[in-house]
Amino acid sequence: MTFKPHLASSGLDLVIKRVNPKVMPQTDSFFTNLNFDNSFTRDLPADPEERNFCRQVPGACYSRVQPVLPSNPKLVSVSKDLADSLEIDEPTLNSQRFVEVFSGKALLEDMDPFAMCYGGHQFGHWAGQLGDGRAINLGEIVTTEGQRWALQLKGAGPTPYSRRADGFAVLRSSVREYLLSEAMHYLEVPTTRALSLVTTGDEVVRDMFYDGNPKAELGAIVCRVAPTFLRFGNYQIFAARGEIEILKQITDYTLKHFFPHLGEPSKEAYVALFNEVCERTSEMIIHWMRVGFVHGVMNTDNMSILGQTIDYGPYGWLEDYDPNWTPNTTDATGRRYRFGHQGQIALWNLVQLANAWVPLIGEPEPLQKIIEDYPAKYQARWNEMMLSKLGLSQPQGDVDAELFQQLLNLLSSVETDMTLFFRGLAQLDIKTHLDSEEANKGIPKELKNSYYKEEELTAEYQQKLHLWLKDYNSRIQEEKLTQAERQTRMNRVNPKYVLRNYLAQLAIDKADKGDNSLVNELLEVLKNPYDEQPDHDEHAQKRPEWARNRPGCSMLSCSS
């Protein structure tokens, strides 16, 4: 197989020279159901510069750009469920035309490609202009049911916001983003989604760990889908630049298209908008904590205004329960974005968004009140989530707080697989176990598989677990729950199947060799993460020892 290399640009003044994608009509048998309504480019100010080169873009919400032509695009996988939601029919889905359009090799006549301008705080520091550096929005469609979807290609080439990067993406990161976007949807975690994954036929040079060892990898493109890709940084950039009229324009646009129930633009509507963004963000983070997801790079430019998980980069899955774990090598020293700190970081990011919106409201006090109320609301949501993970529904304040804390102490005191522990706990008939002669003679068999190191299961640990099970059983008996009822409740919120880091890597290893079977198999399994699916038990096993320190399975970088 021969590839044409794509190399990162060596300077900010590079002007990209290329042949534009061909434009195809939607009047033949393909894509006839797609109704484009490109409100973002229609309603908001554009960059007047038509050339595509890296630069500061003042006074504009976006720049029009076109994808780079891939040399030999091939389909790796497609989410048929999402295609159905977008009203893309089966013949179109199976056509070469589909591959061409969602690789950037061709455009439909009603598409209006662009890259958004935004800023953001990165690792707690204001970074200025960032923008869509390797994402090109194709346009927005509205379905017959009135749902608005933005279509975006990640890895389709440079934009004015690419800085010193090349705008492309490699297969390994694209597999991870594609699979997890869909997996999170089926886990019922608020998320952007992914329609398709294609390889481009071109090589992309990447230094995976920024250690001076670049290598050529296979390029790929994911088509990302969401109602909108607006993020906190879309508002911060205009506040920081003092472009308050544009800040008002983009905020009013947000109200009109995504929060119309809050009414016409006004001070009251802006305050209500901020409050709802806080509510949605809190809900999203609680879901992350429920399933053990670690985003890895919660910069403000990676925070969706809709409270959806966005920008799947150096994320990781909490296999061993360690609240201090971060999957991001860039974050390894400070651990700012560690699992147990995600709630606090969300609040910090919301404060930055509030600061950006103060000029529209005229005073900080209404926003400050919402910020002050946030921790208590978040804690209440977290308590509800923990109750649900234990199959309980009747809160008991301090009693619950002690029960939760003792459980988390147990999980973190020895290397424990969080996902397997909760599934095993659901299977364990706790009253029967405690009444048996085996109660004080070791770890219940239902929980044994969740531990990584048997030598850590000391007599002291076993006694603490036994005492916690007794306290937990008291709560179960108070709620008069049968074993079947508790197991059903727990299995609704504690998944059996998650996209474990090593599973994603195994799929990547195969895909690198041209075998896409595991990508598609995992996609199907992850559609039903709460079901037993006994034929796929091999995908519900804890991390194997070979994956403990392997790149891609333990730590990742912000490199694509």
Q: Is the pLDDT of residue 236 over 90?
A: yes
Predicted confidence band at 9 (pLDDT cuts at 50, 70, 90)? very low
Q: Which of 315, 362, 345, 290 is nearest to 500 (CA)?
A: 315
Q: What is the pLDDT of residue 127?
A: 97
User: Pairing between strand 215-226 and 22-24?
Assistant: unpaired
Q: How confident is the model at residue 99, as a pLDDT?
A: 97
DSSP H or E segment with residue 269: helix 267-291
Q: How many domains does the chain have?
A: 4
Say whether both 367 and 415 belong to one domain.
no
Position 388 scores a pLDDT of 98
Same domain, 224 and 239: no
Last residue of a domain, one of 389, 407, 435: 389
In a shared domain, residues 461 and 324: no
For residue 344, being part of any structural domain is answered with: yes
Domain identity same for 283 and 410 = no
> Are residues 207 and 559 in contact, defined by beta-carbon separation less than 8 angstroms?
yes
**pLDDT bracket for residue 13 (50, 70, 90):** very low
Q: Is the pLDDT of residue 31 over 70?
A: yes
Q: Which of 7-21, 244-258, 363-377, 485-499 has the lowest mean pLDDT?
A: 7-21
| 496 located within any domain | no
Name the band, by pLDDT with cuts 50, 70 and 90, for residue 32.
confident
Which whole number is the average pLDDT over 147-157?
97
The answer, yes or no, to whether residue 7 has pLDDT greater than 50, is no
Is 514's pLDDT higher than 50? yes
Q: Which amino acid is at 18?
A: R
Catalytic residue among 47, 252, 301, 311: 301
Report yes or no: 333 and 275 within 8 Å, Cβ to Cβ: no
Determine the average pLDDT of the residues in 80-87: 97
Using an 8 Å Cβ cutoff, are 326 and 294 in contact?
Answer: yes
**What is the model's pLDDT at position 558?**
63
Residues 265 and 204 in one domain: no
Q: Output the CA torsion sign for 98, 102, 108, 110.
A: positive
Q: What is the pLDDT of residue 112?
A: 97
Q: What is the pLDDT of residue 28?
A: 61
| 14: DSSP letter | P
> Residue 274 has what pLDDT?
98
Which stretch of 30-34, 65-69, 177-181, 273-277 has the lowest confidence by average pLDDT? 30-34
Whether 554 is covered by a domain: the verdict is no
Are 149 and 140 in contact, with CB atoms under 8 Å apart? yes
- Is residue 487, in this structure, part of any structural domain at all? no
Query: Based on the domain organization, do 184 and 246 belong to the same domain?
Result: no
pLDDT of residue 234: 98
pLDDT of the residue at 347: 98
- Model pLDDT, residue 438: 77
Task: Report whether pLDDT(439) > 80.
Answer: no
Residue 317, strand partner residues: 293
Catalytic site residue 417?
A: no
User: pLDDT > 70: what percent of the chain?
Assistant: 94
Q: Is residue 558 a part of any domain in this protein?
A: no
In a shared domain, residues 209 and 247: no
**What are the residues whose beta carbons fall under 8 Å from the beta carbon of 431, sequence distance 6 or more?**
473, 476, 477, 483
Residues 223 and 324 reside in one and the same domain? no
Residue 208 has what pLDDT?
A: 72
More confidently predicted of 519 and 441: 519
Structure confidence at residue 8 as a pLDDT band (50, 70, 90): very low
User: Residue 263 is which amino acid?
Assistant: G
Angle (CA) 338-340-344 rounded to 5° is 90
**pLDDT tens digit sequence for 306-352:** 999 999 999 999 989 999 999 998 988 999 999 999 999 999 999 99
Average pLDDT of the residues in 262-290: 98
221 falls within a domain: yes
Same domain, 326 and 415: no
What average pLDDT does the segment 447-462 reach? Answer: 96
- Please give the pLDDT value at position 553: 80
Dihedral-angle region of residue 11 (phi above 0 means left; psi in -120 to 50 means alpha; beta otherwise): beta
**pLDDT (0 to 100) of residue 17:** 39
Q: pLDDT digit string (tens) for 416-432?
A: 999 999 999 999 999 99
Residues 211 and 303 in one domain: no
Residue 11 pLDDT > 70: no
Place of tokens 């890597």: 505
Q: What is the pLDDT of residue 81?
A: 97
**DSSP one-letter string for 26-72:** S-SSSSTT--B--HHHHHSPBPS--S-B----TT-SEEE--PPPPSS
* C-alpha to C-alpha distances, 154 to 173, 199, 253, 493, nearest whole angstrom: 11, 12, 24, 31
Q: Which structural domain, as residue segments, surrounds residue 456?
A: 398-480
User: What are the b/e assignments for 241-280, b being 16+ CB within 10 Å?
Assistant: bebeebbbbbbbbbbebbbeebeebeeebbbbbbbbbbeb
Residue whose tokens read 């390894």: 332
Instruction: Note whether 169 and 219 are same-domain residues.
Output: yes
Is the same domain home to 354 and 300? yes
DSSP code at position 515: -
- pLDDT grade for 552, boundaries at 50, 70 and 90: confident
At which of 389, 422, 446 does a domain end?
Answer: 389
Tens digits of residue pLDDT in 340-354? 999 999 999 999 999
Is 556 within the bounds of a domain? no
The domain boundary residue, chosen from 389, 420, 454? 389
Rounded mean pLDDT of 92-108? 95
Q: What is the pTM of this model?
A: 0.94
Q: What's the mean pLDDT when you consider all of the chain?
A: 93
Residue 555 falls inside a structural domain: no
